[in-house]
Structure 1
């Protein structure tokens, strides 16, 4: 049994399969989930687990070379905006509709219980060397 890190076996296994350039969408409970990508649904109740908790847990285990969020987050969700700006100084933004389209190309989608608007980010995996 693992003693540290992400303990959810479905998520831990999915992370181990990621490679350079793969996309991982971390999303709120309301984001439409496209057919195709592998989905690990962590949502339990509204707000549990939070977008911040899940994102920070993933960032402890992944090499991320880029991140994209929706423009709309800036006006609608100051907490998530601050979180993403702090974690990704070069955060790219697109329209929410474009982010939904891009999510279809993700290899993995991790759904949180977050219940605040636009708490979604598409991560691009990097390499550790």
Structure 2
């Protein structure tokens, strides 16, 4: 049994499959999930687990070289904006509609229970060397 890190076996397995350049969409409970990417749905109840908890857990496990979020987050969700702005390298902002289009190319979608708007980010995996 794993001692630390992500214990969810489905999520841990999907993370192990990722490579350089792969996209991981971390999204709130309301984000439309496109057909195509693998999905690990962690949503349990509204707000559980939170976007912040899941994002921090993923950032502890992944090498991230860039990220994309909806520019609407700055006005509509100050908490999510502060989280994204403070933790992500090379954060690009696009319209929410464009983020939904880009999410179709993600390799993995991790759905949280977050119930506040625009708590979504598309992470681009880097390489550790």
TM-score, normalising length from structure 1? 0.99
Unaligned runs of 5+ in 2: none
What residue number does 1:44 align with? 44
Q: Could you say if the C-alpha distance between residues 53 and 34 of structure 1 is closer, same or farther in structure 2, counting changes exceeding 3 Å?
A: same
Structure 1 position 89, deviation (Å) = 4.8
What does 1:13-92 correspond to in 2, within 5 Å? 13-92=13-92
Instruction: Could you list the structure 1 runs, at least 4 aligned residues long, displaced by more than 3 angstroms after superposition.
Output: none
What residue number does 1:95 align with? 95
Structure 1 position 92, deviation (Å) = 0.4
What residue number does 1:120 align with? 120
Corresponding pairs, count: 129
SS at match of 1:53: helix
Unaligned runs of 5+ in 1: none
Cα RMSD (Å): 0.6
SS at match of 1:65: strand
